[in-house]
Amino acid sequence: MEVNDKTLTELLRLTEDSNRMLHKMRRGAVWGTVIKVVVYLLALVVIPLWLYSTYLAPIMEDALNTYQQIQGTGAKAQAQFSDLQNMLNQLKQPFSSQE
């Protein structure tokens, strides 16, 4: 195979063109990876945190307040029941001492 200036020039041009294409491909792969990382970070961390703080946290707070109110109502009912028992015992005492 003969090597002349025209062949060497064409080979140099093709090599430089291939080099530019490879650099573009590498740059595209790097940017694609960066974009994938950002998208996965958004999808797996930021969006769930935002959804929790926007929707789930107020619902959970309301549920917790309702649960505490139910506990408070139960404690009040138990206190009233014990007061009723004490009152009944006080009513029984005069009658039981007369026997």
Tens-place pLDDT, residues 22-42:
999 999 999 999 999 999 999
Domain count for the chain: 1
Residues spanned by the domain of 76: 1-99
pLDDT value, residue 90: 85
pLDDT value, residue 1: 63
pLDDT value, residue 79: 84
Exposure b/e, 24-58, CB count within 10 A at least 16 = b: eeeeeeeeeeeeeeeeeeeeeeeeeeeeeeeeeee
Q: Which regions in the chain score pLDDT beneath 70?
A: 1, 97-99
